[in-house]
Amino acid sequence: MVKTRLIPTLQLKNWGLVKSRQFAHWRPIGPPVVAGRVYNSRGVDELIALDIDAPRQERTPNVPLLRDLADECFMPFTAGGGVSSPEDVDALLRAGADKVAINTGILTHPERVQRCSREFGAQCVVASIDARRVDGGYEVHVRAGTEPTGLDPAAHARHAVELGAGEILLTSMDHDGMMDGYDVELIALVAQAVDVPVIACGGAGTPEHFVAAVRAGADAVSAASIFHFTRHTPDDVKRHMREAGLDVRL
Amino acid sequence: MIAVVDYGMGNVRSVERALHALRAEAVITGDPDVLRSAERIVLPGVGAFGVAMERLHGLGLVPVLDELVLERRVPTLGVCLGMQLVCTESFEHGDHRGLGWIPASVRRLEPGEQNLRVPHVGWNDVTARPGASLFEGAGVFYFVHSFYVDPEDDADVAATCRYGVEFAAALECGNVVATQFHPEKSQRDGLALLERFISWQPALAASPA
Amino acid sequence: MPSVRYCSRCLMPETKPDLSFDAEGVCDACRSAEHKNVIDWAARREELREILDRYARKDKTNYDCIIPVSGGKDSTYQVIEVLEMGYRPLTVTWSACSYTDIGRHNIESMQKLGVDHIQFTPNPRVYRAMFAEAFKRVGDGCWPCHVGIFSYPVRVAVNYKVPLIIYGENPQLEYGGPASASANNVIDRSWLEEFGGLLGNRIDDMLGVEGITEADLIPYRYPSDEELRAVGVSAIFLGYYVKWDARAQLKKVMDSGFRVNDSVADVGTEPHQEGTYTNYENLDGKFVGVHDYLKFLKFGFGRATDHASIDIRNERISRDEAIALVRTYEGKVPRRYLEEYLEFVGMTEDEFYETLDAFTNKAIFVTDENGRLVRDDNGEVVKKVWPDGEGAVAEGERLAAPYR
């Protein structure tokens, strides 16, 4: 059967890679190519790279840098950040990406998202949803987490799938970079609402956290801080997941 | 020289990168004259069957490919949609004719009783049939597809995978091999398979349709 | 994509990780330098004395502190300072992979200051295998060296039960180090992650490379949190307590026998190290030129910019003079020891350039329409924007070394 995927996420900002905490306080990590090579040599299942400056600067993603990263990946590579048109998607696919993540664009240009899905296939379009806790539930934010939308993540995810997204990348803003565990409630909420695979992101700090995320309904788990700031490697984590009874690729 | 066929659909760059990493001479081309001088061919593909066949016909590539594959018997690898294109027909969004190099039909993956998510996306176990040229036992490869291939002759199945039902993960018939998964995206196992393709000498007793 | 911005005072580009500009376009390194002039250094030195007193051995049966040394001017200066204050350090060296004559001399000269010294040389076969793999994987052959330089002194601290480690400059320029806290702040695993320069790679990732086994990695492993807590290992950065001035320190260490590179002279009239106009930095190893060149390819600046920026901050040269120096010396392919390097990593020159190109940040160098790097007549890559806002040096415009 299809295995549970472990997908590290890279954030591009200011010419290099950074790691955020709760969508703020960015710490530099180093050149993107280095991270790409290290992850590729570790045999991770996929890689996600997001240009987090693009939505704030209202520009298209940094294609040269993303192409450099794609060149290092002999596994599926998802690129995103500031994507809002089929032209953006085409540029990234030509640069070597297999999938493209769209976040703010789902809200601002829904008809374009539909076109992207029709032209390139639903499996190419990943709906990236960032959410934080509010009274009584969760609220979706766009523009790299700076703009609240008043939307509920489950409803927004359903809407994205209707527009043609083939996967959901769900990030908890509260737990981002905190390494204190995924937001399992948020994961369950969205996983139950849609039929497409859900990739959970935000909060992984120990191998056990990944297991909890999958049990809450995630089809794939993504992380960043744990691999930059602790001694855990992706293989470490997968071994733990396998021992917990999950089917992973080792 | 290995020609990676460019008809505007498919991650040609990833395939080229993988072949270069294996130190093979690979060229991305949609030019019939360049194709004619190829010693091996890779036919990639991502997207819809009908659109792909239209493009191949429109660019005048079908006669050249037929010549290379059926007459000159050049070793050929079809990947993902490319595997589906080598078949006789597909039922994706209608009824389409394929290249017909391997007698087979392309059908939709069904969620079935287990209510599986379609498309089939992710890493899955692949078991090779004995004698399959490009495989060494089992492996784990990356899949992303909503349709699967149903060959007329079971002998043409080179490897299988299970997603609800068991389906053909790879085909082999004469000088044509094809994989439903993406070897250029399957790291260790995928690169090993591509390496075997690079030096593969097909047994030419059996011939494609 | 916007073009690279530079500090309005020194020459640091925004591509440097951890660097930020304020509203006037001045970088935080320059602001820290300004700040250096208003710090009460006497008070800081008192703080330093308090800390050293706290950790010093009253019964004199063990060392007061550990100083990691390389033979370079910075660490030699640290030893002089600690000795002058009356304390007894144990100096620890993780051997460079390819010592120059000057490098060897400077280690001896440091020993003659009057200290006990441990020099550890890792298994050269294991080291070479990791060096070659690290060059390909993270674009830094010196990676195993960074790990060793950082981990080994901590291992010595644990094994000799000497809790205080004294480092030199603080890369973050924020604080003095965990030992400066009144509560004993043990340097645990996260300290390694923060300051150890692991580049995302882990020692475990090297298992299996050219047959490397667990046992081969013994000297590279950072002590466990339990071991660190048992001894109470902690650290301070001397640069927080003592005003750091590279040239002044150079004079001090030279007075006690430190030698600079006075034999190499190819461009201009003054001998200089590869990639810079100075002759007193990174003298110990032959491969530092390649290391620095990779930094240039990844971030768009190398040590010529580092040194020029320091000299600007210390008011020894003007910004225009600095730019002229940088444009002459920076970012040139390090040919001096290139053949030796290729032999060491087991690569052809073509493979070497392929690897370099992969690590080059294509957003800051000129590329053609296929995204491939463009090289000038001298075989050098071309930066898009220099600190004076102009493009690359025009053909034939190579300056002689003007620095006095």
Residue-level pLDDT at B157: 95
- The chain-wide mean pLDDT, for chain A, equals 91
| Residue type at position C70 | S
- Determine the distance in angstroms separating the CA of A51 from the nearest CA of chain C, rounded to an integer: 12
Active site residue B92: no
CATH number of C41-241: 3.40.50
Residue ranges making up the domain that contains A99:
5-243
Q: Where are the domains of chain C?
A: 41-241, 264-404
> Is A1 in Cβ contact with B163 (below 8 Å)?
yes
- Whether A15 and chain C come into contact, CB under 8 Å, resolves to yes
Over range C241-260, report the average pLDDT. 85
- How far is Cα C402 from Cα B69, in angstroms, rounded to an integer? 67
Per-residue pLDDT at C399 exceeds 50? no
Q: Which chain C residue has its CA at the smallest distance from A94's CA?
A: C370
Whether a cis peptide bond, with omega within 30° of 0, leads into B119 is yes
> B73, exposed or middle or buried, with CB in 10 Å at 0-12, 13-18, 19+?
middle
Measured on CA atoms in the order C320, C326, C329, C333, is the torsion positive or negative? negative
Smallest Cβ distance to C361: which of A15, A37, A71?
A15
Long-range contacts of B91-98 (CB under 8 A, 24+ apart): B92/B48, B92/B49, B92/B50, B92/B147, B93/B48, B93/B49, B93/B50, B94/B50, B96/B49, B96/B50, B96/B53, B97/B53, B98/B49, B98/B53
Residues forming beta bridges with residue A8, ordered by sequence position: A223
Per-residue pLDDT at A101 exceeds 70? yes
C391 pLDDT tier (thresholds 50, 70, 90): low
pLDDT, one tens digit per residue, over C354-384 is 899 989 988 788 888 777 888 888 888 888 8
- List the CATH number of the domain containing A239: 3.20.20.70
Smallest Cβ distance to C18: which of A28, A59, A71?
A28
Over range A117-137, report the average pLDDT. 91
C174 pLDDT tier (thresholds 50, 70, 90): low
pLDDT, one tens digit per residue, over B159-192 is 999 998 899 999 999 999 999 999 999 999 999 9
Residue-level pLDDT at B13: 86
Over range A208-236, report the average pLDDT. 91
When the candidates are 3.40.50.880, 3.90.1150.10, 3.40.50.1370, 3.30.930.10, the CATH number that belongs to B2-198 is 3.40.50.880
Residue-level pLDDT at B189: 95
> Is A126 domain-assigned?
yes
Residue-level pLDDT at C284: 65
Phi-psi region at C373: left, alpha or beta (left = phi > 0; alpha = psi -120 to 50): beta
**Residues contacting A221, CB < 8 A, separation 6+:** A4, A5, A6, A7, A182, A199, A200, A201, A204, A210, A213, A214
Specify the number of domains making up chain A. Answer: 1
- Answer yes or no: are the C-beta atoms of C51 and C85 closer than 8 Å: no
Residue-level pLDDT at C404: 18
Instruction: Tell me the two tokens of residue C399.
Output: 């300056």
> Is A71 in Cβ contact with C358 (below 8 Å)?
yes
- How far is Cα C169 from Cα A6, in angstroms, rounded to an integer? 38
> C400, exposed or middle or buried, with CB in 10 Å at 0-12, 13-18, 19+?
exposed
> Is A31 in Cβ contact with C200 (below 8 Å)?
no
C182 pLDDT tier (thresholds 50, 70, 90): low
Residue-level pLDDT at C267: 39
Residue-level pLDDT at C2: 63
> Is B187 in Cβ contact with A75 (below 8 Å)?
yes
CB environment B166-190: b (16+ within 10 A), e (fewer): ebbbbbbbbbbbbbbbbbbbbbebb
- How far is Cα A18 from Cα A29, in angstroms, rounded to an integer? 5
Residue-level pLDDT at B169: 96
CB environment C200-232: b (16+ within 10 A), e (fewer): bbbbbbbeebeebeeebbebbebbeeeebeebb
Measured on CA atoms in the order A104, A105, A108, A110, is the torsion positive or negative? negative
Per-residue pLDDT at C402 exceeds 50? no
Per-residue pLDDT at C331 exceeds 80? yes
Per-residue pLDDT at B56 exceeds 90? yes
pLDDT, one tens digit per residue, over C25-49 is 998 888 888 887 888 889 999 999 9
Per-residue pLDDT at C299 exceeds 70? yes
- How far is Cα B3 from Cα C147, in angstroms, rounded to an integer? 44
More confident residue, C258 or A137: A137
Over range C212-230, report the average pLDDT. 93
- Answer yes or no: are the C-beta atoms of B85 and B45 closer than 8 Å: yes
**CA-to-CA dists, residue C83 to B54, C51, C55, C113, C237, angstroms:** 82, 15, 15, 9, 16
Over range C67-89, report the average pLDDT. 93
CB environment C110-142: b (16+ within 10 A), e (fewer): bbebebebeeeebeeebbbbbbbbbbbbbbbbb
- How far is Cα C313 from Cα C310, in angstroms, rounded to an integer? 5
Active site residue B182: yes
- pTM over cut 0.90: no
- Determine the distance in angstroms separating the CA of A121 from the nearest CA of chain B, rounded to an integer: 6
Per-residue pLDDT at A38 exceeds 60? yes
pLDDT, one tens digit per residue, over B111-141 is 777 778 778 889 999 999 998 999 988 899 9
Over range C191-220, report the average pLDDT. 85
> B25, exposed or middle or buried, with CB in 10 Å at 0-12, 13-18, 19+?
exposed
**Residues contacting A128, CB < 8 A, separation 6+:** A50, A80, A101, A102, A103, A169, A171
Chain C positions touching A230 (Cβ under 8 A) are: 189-190, 193
Per-residue pLDDT at C98 exceeds 90? no
- Answer yes or no: are the C-beta atoms of C130 and C209 closer than 8 Å: yes
**Residues contacting C91, CB < 8 A, separation 6+:** C66, C67, C68, C69, C79, C110, C111, C115, C116, C117, C118
Per-residue pLDDT at C283 exceeds 70? no
B65 pLDDT tier (thresholds 50, 70, 90): very high
C200 pLDDT tier (thresholds 50, 70, 90): confident
Label the pairing between strands B87-90 and B102-108.
Answer: parallel
More confident residue, A30 or C272: A30
**Residues contacting A103, CB < 8 A, separation 6+:** A55, A80, A83, A127, A128, A129, A130, A142, A144
pLDDT, one tens digit per residue, over A160-184 is 999 999 999 999 999 998 999 999 9
Give the 3-state secondary structure of residue B204.
coil
> Which residue from C49, C88, C61, C236 is spatially nearest to C161, judged by alpha carbons?
C61
**CA-to-CA dists, residue B44 to A201, B3, B78, C141, C340, angstroms:** 32, 11, 6, 37, 43
Residue-level pLDDT at B172: 95
> Is A249 domain-assigned?
no
More confident residue, B117 or C81: C81
> B71, exposed or middle or buried, with CB in 10 Å at 0-12, 13-18, 19+?
exposed
* Number of other CB atoms surrounding residue B115 within 10 Å: 9
Chain B positions touching A76 (Cβ under 8 A) are: 142, 144, 182, 185
* Number of other CB atoms surrounding residue C262 within 10 Å: 11
Q: Which chain C residue has its CA at the smallest distance from A69's CA?
A: C358
Backbone angles phi, psi at C333, to 5 degrees: -55, 130
> Is A224 domain-assigned?
yes
> Is A41 in Cβ contact with C358 (below 8 Å)?
no
Secondary element (H or E) of residue B97? strand B96-97
B197 pLDDT tier (thresholds 50, 70, 90): very high
Per-residue pLDDT at A15 exceeds 80? no
What is the 8-class DSSP label of residue C139?
S
Instruction: Tell me the two tokens of residue B183.
Output: 């070897």
> Is A248 domain-assigned?
no
> Which residue from B68, B67, B65, B42 is spatially nearest to B55, judged by alpha carbons?
B65
- CB-defined contacts A:B, below 8 A: 79
Residue-level pLDDT at C392: 44
| Size of chain C in residues | 404
Q: Which of residues 125-164 of A touch B (CB under 8 A)?
A: none
Per-residue pLDDT at C268 exceeds 50? no
Counting residues of chain C whose pLDDT is more than 90, the rounded percentage is 39
